[in-house]
Amino acid sequence: MTDSHPDPLRIERDGDVAVVVLDNPPLNLFTPVVFNGLEHIAAELVAMTDPTQPGRARAVLFEARGKVVSGGVDVTFFQDIAQSEEPVRRGADLWTRLLRVAQTIEDLPVPTVYAAHGLTLTAAFELALCCDILLAAEKASFGLVEIVVGLTPSMGGPQRLAERAGPARARELIFTGERYSAEVLERWNVVNRVLPDDGFAAAAREYAHRVAAGPTVAHAATKRLVATSVREGARAADALVPEASGALFATADLRGAVTSFLTEGPGKARYSGR
């Protein structure tokens, strides 16, 4: 970016990867401007990952600049809502907007990766829980600390945390408002992988590029099957398999990979995302 005052939330393209960058120093707080930007980013990502578009992004990586991923939400925003003439309506409208963003990111037809290099609180943590893969540096820590202002996390955090860690762990983390290390949350199946602090940003980029280089249409089918199983059960996912997986036999990636397997052996195929 050449702008001396870049947008606090923006997309930077890195080959097949769309990189969403949070850059709102010093604490990367989620302000009304950042939340508005998040809505625009979600819409951009839908367009960028559209399978009908040439040169589409085949993975999305979320990362942040600075010492922390995010110190949370600018609390003056909540004060403005609470002291307004219609606090209930405005609060409900806010959560409706943000849940729509969370679901849009969750439903993208490509792998999504969240890279947490440091402290990751409230909205940033909830955004991470919408992603397929959560990578954390050794020094990273996480918290849904909304109890300090009398809230419960409302951007999808409790329910998505329960999906990953189970309802008891979700309640514990939110009831206490404590910060949890990357190591603990890896044990709880919230964090997928803990990576060394040194070289973390590069390692997260490499991971995103690796999944972007895979069979993108098959990855989309995987996401549909997993999401259906979580929401409706394994039998509902079974019922989806003929449609979702049957269609893969018509893809250029499957045809090319089968030919490569038979002529060159496993692991040599190169995928185009079609």
Q: What is the CATH number of the domain that holds 37?
A: 3.90.226.10
pLDDT tens by residue, 15-55: 999 999 999 999 999 999 999 999 999 999 999 999 999 99
> Quick one: 121 and 182 in the same domain?
yes
- Tokens encoding 118: 């440091």
> Quick one: 104 and 193 in the same domain?
yes
pLDDT tens by residue, 44-98: 999 999 999 999 999 999 999 999 999 999 999 999 999 999 999 999 999 999 9
Three-class secondary structure of residue 98 per DSSP: helix
Residue 2 has pLDDT above 60, yes or no: no
> Quick one: 179 and 58 in the same domain?
yes
> Quick one: 15 and 78 in the same domain?
yes
Q: Which of 193, 212, 231 is the last residue of a domain?
A: 212
> Quick one: 190 and 230 in the same domain?
no
pLDDT at 5: 55
Number of structural domains (the chain) is 2
**Phi, psi for residue 4 in degrees, rounded to 5:** -70, -15
Within a domain: 255 = yes
Distances (CA, A) of 20 to 65, 114, 266: 11, 9, 33
Within a domain: 83 = yes
The 8-class DSSP code of residue 7 comes to -
pLDDT tens by residue, 127-186: 999 999 999 999 999 999 999 999 999 999 999 999 999 999 999 999 999 999 999 999
> Quick one: 155 and 240 in the same domain?
no
> Quick one: 29 and 162 in the same domain?
yes
Within a domain: 139 = yes
Within a domain: 235 = yes
- Are 179 and 170 contacting, i.e. CB atoms less than 8 angstroms apart? no
In the chain, the percentage of residues whose pLDDT exceeds 90 is 97
> Quick one: 187 and 207 in the same domain?
yes
Q: What is the 3-state secondary structure (H, E, C) of 112-162?
A: EEEEECCEEEHHHHHHHHCCCEEEEECCCEEECCHHHHCCCCCCCHHHHHH
pLDDT at 6: 75
CA distance 133 to 214: 15
> Quick one: 21 and 134 in the same domain?
yes
pLDDT at 274: 93
CA distance 133 to 226: 13
Q: Give the pairing of strands 17-22 and 9-14.
A: antiparallel
Type of residue at 118: G
The 8-class DSSP code of residue 209 comes to H
Q: Which of 212, 229, 247 is the last residue of a domain?
A: 212
Three-class secondary structure of residue 59 per DSSP: strand
> Quick one: 49 and 30 in the same domain?
yes
Within a domain: 273 = no
pTM of the complete model: 0.95
The 8-class DSSP code of residue 23 comes to -
89 contact partners, CB below 8 Å, separation of at least 6:
none
> Quick one: 241 and 136 in the same domain?
no
Within a domain: 230 = yes
CA distance 37 to 8: 8
Three-class secondary structure of residue 68 per DSSP: coil
* Structural domain boundaries, residue 246: 216-264
> Quick one: 146 and 242 in the same domain?
no
Within a domain: 202 = yes
- Are 215 and 249 contacting, i.e. CB atoms less than 8 angstroms apart? no
Distances (CA, A) of 222 to 36, 44, 120: 30, 23, 28
Q: Which of 168, 186, 212 is the last residue of a domain?
A: 212
pLDDT at 1: 38
Within a domain: 144 = yes
